[in-house]
A and B are shown apart, each in its own frame.
Chain A
Amino acid sequence: MPDATIQDTPSQDAAYNYGYLDEQTKRMIRRAILKAVAVPGYQVPFGGREMPLPYGWGTGGIQVTAAIIGREDTLKVIDQGADDTTNAVSIRRFFARVAQVATTTHTKEATIIQTRHRVPETPLTDGQILVFQVPIPEPLRMLEPRETETRTLHALSEYGVMQVSLYESIARHGRIAKTYNYPVMVNGRYIMSPSPIPKFDNPKLDRSPALQLYGAGREKRIYAVPPHTPVNSLDFDDHPFEVETWTESCELCGSTESFLDEMIVDDTGKRLFVCSDTDYCESRR
């Protein structure tokens, strides 16, 4: 098994507080997180700060992680399932620098996992926190651009517009063609965006023993799914929810069960498939 320790340069900047955010800001975010946990799936507005990384590049996830992380934590950061994609490296370096925290690539060793677009293949456990980076927290946004409207729809549990949208997809394609950011119902009350994870990952959100925290920096929203909470992907009786499948297997570890990335390997368009989750893949080789 390869060494999971990542060589970063932990040297705290004296000019910045531990975890980058000031204590007042952390308290504000922590209060928002408690309310988010108390009302699963509801988007809590918070006074999102400008971060030294661009909006859309994980500022919400970074603020959530900065508000919860401590010296006893071990942090894993993934983007597209991989620990070594550039943005994951950049965020991990940021926390190694401002929070002097231990980092890992092993899902099992991490106490906090910040992710963009994937849920690890390795099942999570009690005590772990999964922090999602969320670009558009409002699941109804593409159907209704107005915040004042969508907020009312959530208040009234008036979700017909979403059902209609999924049904239109069936009418046109014969199936629900939505593939990522597939809407879910949390604890039977709020429709929630699971962030742009592939729908392949949706079942992992259901009754997970880990705590899920979702941070949207630009849109200034935090929401949560507590452990053991029902998370159902929306579907119809005659068109049940289904996930992506591949006829291929991973070129490196042979897995037929994980989410596969497709790579074009030469000019003639020859393709091969490898696991998106690099830690899972390496642990099987």
Chain B
Amino acid sequence: MSTTLLAPGFADPSHDAQRLFRGVLDAFSHPGRIVELPDAPAGPGTLSPAASAFLLTFADRETPLWLEAGVDRQEVRDFLRFHAGTPLVQAREAATFAVIIGGGGEPFAGFAIGTDTYPDRAATLVIEVPALDGGPITTWRGPGVDGEVQVAIDGLGDGFWPAWTANHALFPCGVDLVFASGSRLIALPRSVAVEA
């Protein structure tokens, strides 16, 4: 029997989810904008509050989830199964959502990118990073951005931005990203070009 305490989910499921959704929608509508999530649940410790909030807001029985080894721990599994009923999958291509730490190596390889006729059937990846600012400066351009915006996410792997450029080139296919740190996040939809 497990003796670990289950981290709490939403106190007020309907309204908490609505407020968090609007935060995430604001982030997707304004790529590069740092969005502070209101009342994000603390989560099970190894997940940031922002990643926990994102998953509780969007994931459920219908959205298979892939976890990188570093976050794939019993308390995280218990938290997501109990509060969201999310099935955890081993195969990247089966995942609707995924949680990745830092985005080193080939961060997007294997995830669903949608098809030319159904580009919406693509995965959304949550990338845990140490900070959303203070890192190397990048310039973002595309839908949702008024001209251009400078973003300085910290702690990403060396190959990350070249991999993103390749992903952006797949448009309208491609994965969409959420960078999570503490209770804040930045969204990066596939439509946005990044100059590193």
Contact A23 B120 (CB under 8 A): no
Contact A37 B189 (CB under 8 A): yes
20 example contacts (A-B, Cβ-Cβ < 8 A) are as follows A23-B17, A27-B17, A30-B25, A31-B63, A33-B25, A34-B58, A38-B176, A38-B190, A42-B119, A155-B115, A156-B116, A187-B143, A190-B172, A226-B143, A226-B144, A226-B191, A227-B146, A228-B144, A229-B143, A229-B144
Contact A30 B57 (CB under 8 A): yes
- Closest residue of chain B to A69, judged by CB? B18
Q: Which of B21, B115, B120, B143 is close to A40, meaning CB atoms less than 8 Å apart?
A: B143
**What bracket does the count of chain B residues touching chain A fall in?**
35 or more
Contact B15 A68 (CB under 8 A): no
| 0/1 interface trace, chain A 150-174, chain B, CB 8 Å (1 if under) | 0110111000000000000000000
CB distance from A54 to the nearest CB of B (A): 26
CB distance from A140 to the nearest CB of B (A): 14
CB distance from A40 to the nearest CB of B (A): 5
CB distance from A80 to the nearest CB of B (A): 27
Check if B106 is an interface residue, CB within 8 A of chain A: no
Contact B143 A70 (CB under 8 A): no
Bound CA span A23–B58, Å: 10
| 0/1 interface trace, chain B 1-42, chain A, CB 8 Å (1 if under) | 000000000000111011101101110111000000000000
Bound CA span A42–B115, Å: 12
CB distance from B193 to the nearest CB of A (A): 11
CB distance from A23 to the nearest CB of B (A): 6
- Give A218-241 interface residues, CB cut-off 8 Å to B: 225-229
- Give A39-77 interface residues, CB cut-off 8 Å to B: 39-40, 42, 44-45, 67-72
Q: Which of B29, B57, B172 is close to A211, meaning CB atoms less than 8 Å apart?
A: B29
Check if A18 is an interface residue, CB within 8 A of chain B: yes
Contact A39 B172 (CB under 8 A): yes
Bound CA span A155–B170, Å: 12
Contact A68 B25 (CB under 8 A): yes
Interface of B is mostly: loop
Q: What B residues does A19 contact at CB under 8 A?
A: 14, 18
Contacts A19-B14, A26-B18, A42-B120 known; 12 new A-B pairs at CB < 8 A: A17-B14, A26-B21, A31-B96, A32-B120, A34-B24, A38-B189, A39-B189, A187-B191, A189-B171, A211-B29, A227-B146, A229-B144
Bound CA span A27–B122, Å: 16
Check if B117 is an interface residue, CB within 8 A of chain A: yes
Contact A228 B120 (CB under 8 A): no
Contact A18 B144 (CB under 8 A): no
Bound CA span A26–B25, Å: 14
- Give B104-163 interface residues, CB cut-off 8 Å to A: 115-120, 122, 124, 142-147
Bound CA span A51–B18, Å: 20
Check if A28 is an interface residue, CB within 8 A of chain B: yes
Contact B15 A26 (CB under 8 A): no
Check if A5 is an interface residue, CB within 8 A of chain B: no
Bound CA span A278–B45, Å: 53
Q: What A residues does B120 contact at CB under 8 A?
A: 32, 35-36, 39, 42, 44-45
> Do A37 and B22 form a contact, CB below 8 Å, given A18-B15, A228-B145, A229-B144?
no
> Do A31 and B58 form a contact, CB below 8 Å, given A70-B18, A187-B191?
yes
Bound CA span A30–B26, Å: 12
Q: What A residues does B172 contact at CB under 8 A?
A: 39, 42, 189-190
Check if B60 is an interface residue, CB within 8 A of chain A: yes
Bound CA span A259–B16, Å: 40
Bound CA span A28–B14, Å: 14
Q: Which of A28, A32, A44, A226 is close to B29, meaning CB atoms less than 8 Å apart?
A: A226
Q: Which of B30, B60, B124, B190 is close to A24, meaning CB atoms less than 8 Å apart?
A: B60
- Give B79-110 interface residues, CB cut-off 8 Å to A: 96
